[in-house]
Homo-oligomer: A and B are copies of this chain.
Amino acid sequence: MKRPTIADIARRAGVSKGAVSYALNGQPGVSEATRQRIIAIAQEIGFNPNSAARALSGATANAVGLALCRPARILGIEPFFMELISGVEGELSARSYALTLQVVADPDAEIAVYRRWWGERRVDGVFVCDLRVDDRRVPVLEELQLPAVVIGGPGHTGTLASVWADDAAALVETMEYLVALGHRRIARVGGLPGLLHTEIRGKAFVEAGERLGLEQSLTVPSDYTGEEGARATRRLLGAAGRPTAIIYDNDVMAIAGLAVAQEMGLAVPGDLSIVAWDDSALCQLTHPPLTALGRDIPAYGAHAARQLLAAIEGREIGAYQDETAHLTPRGSTAAPSPA
């Protein structure tokens, strides 16, 4: 089946290719009557502009890129990315932008992907996930002048646009809630060290712990997987003076922690309170359901997409602060039983 081109439309309308281009793109240069006639013909023959031709002559590729740098097994289990993607998609498809996805093995590969995309002119802009402290990707994107929106922050985003949420505030709110319940020994199972939001949460945890006068406020680093979450939990619960509450950096680790606690004969929430960061549907499926810090991830993605489209259009944009995660108390948190 032959794809219709503007030349076909031009022939049928008895005008030149240029006139067709003007008509279809809403540019001045054709009369309203001719424009309508051309649009009608285009619709009739089911015309879609060849994206390659458009990208080659015009400015944009009408596509944006997202490179994900996490191993497959973690990607699968984290609802975060899929929810983010679906939010991003909503904005993009409304403007007929395509999303190009690439899974990469490490930050160097990711940087190589950006350089390739830029060289190939395959994308007009990119999303940057999993921001790190002094992230090496940032200067590369600045150098390439590739429009980019960093998903994360605040800070360490250089001159790039960003979308971020105040994790420190959310964590402090959670700790105050636990303290109000009577907890004095609170632990935290953190995400991948080196990720900016892990560091931000870690710092906030220490500071709030001091301010609230906790007896104990220990962070154990982890990697978002259930296995590591379970291991960290065993370590925390096996030690003397074990915590009465644990905050997990994602829901998968929290669920694993819950299983470990039950396995060790500890009652949740009687002996141990559990809070999960990221409130996916999973948190409501456990027994007891998990108290969780949640926010609207698809909306977060949508904001990021809007920022990126604005950046591509050359509009001046900066950091956009998204809503702060809010705590949904469920059955996994309660006052600690008297020791």
Complex Cα distance, B298 from A285, in Å, reads: 26
B120 touches A50 (CB 8 A): yes
Contact-size category for A: 35 or more
Question: Within 8 Å CB of A285, what residues of B?
Answer: 226, 230, 252, 255-256, 259
A152 to B128, CA, bound (A): 33
Interface of A is mostly: helix
For window 246-301 of chain A, which residues contact chain B by CB distance below 8 Å?
252, 255-256, 258-259, 262-263, 280-282, 284-287, 297-298
Is A26 part of the binding interface, using a Cβ–Cβ cutoff of 8 Å? no
Indicate if A3 sits at the interface (CB-CB under 8 A): yes
Of B82, B104, B225, B258, which one neighbours A76 at CB under 8 angstroms? B82
Q: Is A166 an interface residue (CB 8 A)?
A: no
Would you call A280 and B48 a contact (CB within 8 A)?
no
Indicate whether A49 reaches chain B with its CB closer than 8 angstroms.
yes
Query: Is A43 interfacial (CB-CB < 8 Å)?
Result: no
Q: What residue of chain B has the Cβ atom nearest to residue A289's Cβ?
A: B259
Report the bound CA distance from A13 to B63 in whole Å.
33
- List B contacts of A177 (CB < 8 A): none
A-B contacts, 29 listed (Cβ < 8 Å): A47-B119, A48-B118, A49-B119, A50-B119, A51-B55, A51-B121, A52-B53, A56-B56, A72-B86, A72-B298, A75-B82, A76-B79, A76-B280, A78-B82, A82-B82, A86-B103, A89-B102, A90-B103, A96-B116, A98-B100, A98-B102, A98-B122, A100-B100, A100-B101, A227-B281, A255-B282, A255-B286, A258-B287, A286-B286
